[in-house]
Amino acid sequence: EAGVAQSPRYKIIEKRQSVAFWCNPISGHATLYWYQQILGQGPKLLIQFQNNGVVDDSQLPKDRFSAERLKGVDSTLKIQPAKLEDSAVYLCASSSRTAGNGELFFGEGSRLTVL
Amino acid sequence: DAKTTQPTSMDCAEGRAANLPCNHSTISGNEYVYWYRQIHSQGPQYIIHGLKNNETNEMASLIITEDRKSSTLILPHATLRDTAVYYCIVRVAGTASKLTFGTGTRLQVTL
């Protein structure tokens, strides 16, 4: 089966500019996660969706970050305006409530560099 | 979710067993132990998980102590491709719960 698709793989922007990342989860997976991974650290959960509803966005900096999951499938994560400290890899993951052992399947990530 | 403690880094010779320890002394009765790994420039990959019994799959074995306060991930014959960061995570039972990552153990497999 196809894995979690993310784009773009790399993005370089100036601070105060905006950027958007796209994620297409594994077909049929109802749960979708966005993680932020800063160099040298483990991934940190930003937001979790169940279908198109938000389950957990407690660590999402809502003054500059937004995310949506229209129709419960694809998702976009937006940053506006970007700060230097937003430089990181943004990982999307999906999981199924009804199949497997609930493990998360991760995409390869989108690497953001803010100059 | 309970926190875990892992060594920052470990080395292992290729072909030998790699034993990666994890402490999770505050684990609750309904929390599973999960292991993921992250190879450079890739997303994390599921390895194995367990509740209280030892588990084995095609990738690794998981040994959980009887009191469930610690566990060991065993890669029986490490190869260079096993060089990665290994994360031990405790997670509430249920398929929609989140994973909370620590800093993991960086395993370097050498010739």
- Comparing B29 with B74, which gets the higher pLDDT? B74
**Cβ neighbours of B9 in A, within 8 Å:** none
CB contact under 8 A, A42 and B104: yes
Q: Average of pLDDT values for B53-64?
A: 96
Rounded Cα distance between A34 and A66, Å, is 11
Residue B88, class by beta-carbon neighbours within 10 Å (0-12 exposed, 13-18 middle, 19+ buried)?
A: buried
**Cβ neighbours of B99 in A, within 8 Å:** 33, 43, 45, 104
Token pair of A87 as six digits: 């430089």
CB A114 within 8 A of CB A18: no
Q: Average of pLDDT values for A83-95?
A: 97
Q: Number of CB pairs < 8 Å for A and B?
A: 61
CB contact under 8 A, B98 and A45: yes
Give A52's pLDDT tier (boundaries 50, 70, 90).
Answer: confident
Chain B: closest CA distance from residue A76 (Å): 18
Using the predicted structure, report yes or no on whether residue A100 has a pLDDT greater than 70. Answer: no
Q: Considering only alpha carbons, which residue of chain B is nearest residue A47?
A: B98
**Cβ neighbours of B45 in A, within 8 Å:** 106
> At CB < 8 A and 24+ separation, what contacts does A81-84 make?
A81/A15, A81/A16, A81/A17, A81/A18, A82/A13, A82/A14, A82/A15, A82/A16, A82/A17, A82/A18, A82/A19, A82/A112, A82/A114, A83/A15, A83/A114, A84/A15, A84/A114, A84/A115
pLDDT for A72 equals 84
Give A96's pLDDT tier (boundaries 50, 70, 90).
Answer: confident
pLDDT for B20 equals 98
Using the predicted structure, report yes or no on whether residue A13 has a pLDDT greater than 60. Answer: yes
**Cβ neighbours of A104 in B, within 8 Å:** 36, 44, 46, 99
Mean pLDDT for all residues in chain A: 93
